[in-house]
Amino acid sequence: MLGLSLRAEFQGKRLQGTAIELANDKGVGATQIPAQDFLRITYPSLDLLKAIEAVGPSQGRPVVLIGERGQGKSHLMAALYHALTDSHTTRSWLTHWSGTLSMPKLAELPLRDDMHVISESLHRQRYKHLWDLLFEKHPFGPHARGKWEGMGTDVPSDQVLLEMFTKQPTALILDEYQTWFDGLTNTKQHPWRNWAFNFVQLLSEIAKENPDKLVLVVSVRNGNSDAYQQLHRVGPVLVDFKGPNADRERRRLLLHRLFDNRLQVDDAAIEATISAHVSEYFRLHEVPPAEHDRKRMEFRQAWPFAPHLLQLLEDQVLVATDAQETRDLIRILANLYKNAGEKAPLLTAADFRLDGPDSGIMALLDSVSNQHHATLREKAQRNLDAVKEAVHDPAATVPHVSEVIGALWLRSLAAGNVAGADRGTLQLDVTRGKPVDDNAFQVELSAIVDNSFNIHQAGGRLVFREEENPEAKLKATARNDKLFADGGDRLHLAQQVRYVLGGAGDTAQHFRIVVLRETWHGDDPWSALELGDHPDQWDAKIPVLVLPEQPDKLDARLGVFLAKRLTKRRNTVRFLLPRAGLPNLFLDRDLLLLARMALKAAEWMKQSADYKPLQQKYEKELRTALRTRFDRYAILETWSFMEPTQCVFRVEALGEQGEKIPEAMDRHIRDNVFIPEDFRDFVLAAAANNDSVGKVLRELQEPRPNGHECIPWLGETAAQERVLRLCAQGKIGIDWRGQKYLQAQPGEAEQDAWNRIRGNIATGKHLDEVVLHLPQAAPQTGGTVTPPVQTPVQPVIPGFEPVAPPAVVAVAGGGGGATVLFPPIQPGLGSSLFEKPLSNGQKRHSVPATSPLNLLSRVENLGVNAGTPVRDVSIRIDALSGAQLQKLIKALPDGVTYALDLATEEA
């Protein structure tokens, strides 16, 4: 971007370490390479210039560098080493920067050029005592050691040291002094810490009183240790990497350390590149106009990194994790720029993406060495995958998901209440060359949060946490369609619809709620349902078919459904319809998500009690939504089997919700759709044909043919009660299974008749044994008609003598008498019967000999049905076998007495 060039040492696949070693065994330490090479990567910070001035020829105090690991103490010490050993190169370097920074005084800084420089990183623990270092590396060290050993003192005397430094002025640079000092033992046998304490006191006093002989530079981590106390007594020059310009200086140092040509990039070009981001920064963070110029300058100076990113890393992430600040920050930023710098006009927290190259993340994790943050990164990655899997078309729905998750993860590494980020901060992180629409980003962020399970709400901030957010996890799981490929969510939704409509009370006992699936009008609407919902498993309950959607052509759709998907009981079905304009029940995303969350919460609450209230919450929300979803029902009005699309259905509105709907539907049908007169006429016609109640009910359950309006099915019990009510009204008579005959008596009140006969309800196969009749003329007490018993008398016909019949059997009896089945006949009369005289109201009928089937037909043609009283019945049989006679006798009805006369033939 804008021709910015990363230094060669950071361009390889593997980033070289940025830790500064004064010297190492490979000979490539900071003090072992040429001054020109080292100073090329060194920025003249105020701390460095202060230190160079403090070791100049006119100064006379020790220099103490105070700062935690990674703040640049070693780099500064290496620069001092080169300033003391190569004044010519250092002068050129200062002159260059004096022009670049417009600071002429830099070129005038006095430098020493006559010092013997001894530098050592004491943390390597190569010397037990500091005097060993001096005696080994000073030109006159061996002589001084010999002189001291002759004295027999524990610590070399100031005289020995002064004589050595006089012969060769020396600069002693001790890095990691506190680390070395704190590691010394201090026992009676080995009081090495006390000796070191005394020796440093001697050195600091010599450096103060004889600055031309000794320059002492020491680094410590803090000013509270014993290692610093003796140095503090002589009033050293302190370089503590703090001050009003420390942050700005550190950022300039970072950029110079990272890039070859950062200072050569034009400020105007930088400002044009980042203008959109800066403008959004002012708007989203409500920066007052008076601060705009200062903030713009901060953005220009920090480019290609956003200042809020550097602040996040320096003041929150690295401090919170005890990383080595500047040193680690250089590595992190170098990795970040390598992976994203050429693409982004400004690098922000959103460039720490979790789905691509490490983009500085691994450098960060290596720096913090914190397992918690590494674990949090893994969870954030899983959250990212969950969001991409859960939403449809991630590129369009959540275009910034990778940036948002990465930025939120990085910001969640901060400590305390500053962890995480609000919506405005995350929106700014993803803002590049043009602003991001507020509403679109809010929708996107909501989708990300809803489908992530480690994002928690902390006040107005979102934050990643290692522990899962139960509700977020539930939502994220619910939005992952792949987890519900087995259709468990749709089954649960159907079950909830059934529960909401059917409940567990009377509704469930009287109505069968069948929830049809999304493909209800397909070739096989039943296979997706539970076995108990298949039509062949339906019982006497009234079936209520719940449609998942409003049919486009209601009459045609429902007519075809009844004709092709049901083979019987088509008139019993009631269709429950959803409110107009609603999507298919099983394609309604909101309802599916509620069903999934309720289902998963019920499953997970066995392992964690956190999910129980969530299960109750989402199940309640789901049921509330379902209670108001259905507001109409449809019932068949006219039927056309040949042209099902020509069927007509009656659609009625419902005023009830939820479990009250089936009863309200039934009540509305009884009061407003069912026409009692049509039912009466239908039953009277059946009674005229002597049809059984079973046949009547079966016919009522099927649509009426020939375009007649269908009689609404009220249920088996209600239909039988209405038949009995017609009987109580005297409209019909009922032969109740051959045991009794039900009929209203003359003059009997309807209610009295109803009270007497209303309990006579049959079920199952017994319905076919209960036969309807038109009412008889003279019903007897109790509603049971008992025909009178007549004793047959053979009349005397003039001119004929009675002839004994071949066989005589008595048939219709009762009251002690008998009716002759085969009476004697007069020869020549054929099938004429010998009858006794008829009484008033009686009529004689005669049928010639024929087969039993024809005889039955002839009897029906005579108007003799099951309810017709019959008197003086005689049937003549010319001849039959004994077996046939036995079979005939066994078939005679019970409750009547019979007499038998017959003639047998000799075998």
Give pLDDT tens digits for 819-866. 344 444 444 433 333 445 566 667 777 777 766 756 766 776 677 776
- Select the more confidently predicted residue: 296 or 453: 296
Report CA torsion sign: 16, 17, 18, 21: negative
CB atoms under 10 Å from CB of 802, counted, come to 15
Mean pLDDT of 534-557: 94
Give the whole-angstrom CA distance, residue 525 versus residue 548.
12
From the list 670, 662, 637, the residue with the least C-alpha distance to 651 is 637
Give the whole-angstrom CA distance, residue 531 versus residue 739.
40
Give the whole-angstrom CA distance, residue 609 versus residue 601.
10
Task: Classify 764 in phi/psi space as left (phi over 0), alpha (psi -120 to 50) or beta.
Answer: left
From the list 837, 786, 835, 794, the residue with the least C-alpha distance to 814 is 786
pLDDT at 19 (0 to 100): 62
CB atoms under 10 Å from CB of 475, counted, come to 22
> How many alpha carbons lie under 13 Å from residue 103 in its C-beta half-sphere?
14
pLDDT at 818 (0 to 100): 39
pTM assigned to the model: 0.61
Span 350-378, pLDDT tens digits: 998 888 665 556 666 665 556 777 788 88
Span 477-506, pLDDT tens digits: 888 888 899 999 999 999 999 999 987 666
From the list 703, 509, 555, 550, the residue with the least C-alpha distance to 632 is 550
From the list 385, 386, 362, 384, the residue with the least C-alpha distance to 373 is 362
In terms of C-beta density within 10 A (0-12 exposed, 13-18 middle, 19 or more buried), how is residue 765 classed? exposed
pLDDT of residue 717 exceeding 60, the answer is yes
pLDDT at 889 (0 to 100): 82
From the list 352, 359, 345, the residue with the least C-alpha distance to 280 is 345
Least confident span in 9-13, 326-330, 807-811: 807-811
In terms of C-beta density within 10 A (0-12 exposed, 13-18 middle, 19 or more buried), how is residue 773 classed? buried
Q: Which H or E run contains 636?
A: strand 630-638
Give the pair of three-digit tokens for residue 839. 């009484």
User: DSSP letter string over 29-95?
Assistant: STTTS-HHHHHHT----HHHHHHHHHTSTT--S-EEEE--TTSSHHHHHHHHHHHHH-HHHHHHHHH
Going from the C-alpha of 572 to that of each of 493, 511, 529, 709, 876, the distances in angstroms are 25, 11, 19, 14, 49
Give the whole-angstrom CA distance, residue 635 versus residue 540.
18
- Select the more confidently predicted residue: 665 or 251: 665
In terms of C-beta density within 10 A (0-12 exposed, 13-18 middle, 19 or more buried), how is residue 509 classed? exposed
pLDDT of residue 436 exceeding 50, the answer is yes
Span 637-681, pLDDT tens digits: 999 989 999 999 999 999 999 999 999 999 999 999 999 999 999
Helices (H), 503-588: 506-510, 554-565
CB atoms under 10 Å from CB of 529, counted, come to 18
Going from the C-alpha of 834 to that of each of 73, 339, 802, 856, the distances in angstroms are 144, 123, 10, 21
Give the whole-angstrom CA distance, residue 433 versus residue 648.
63
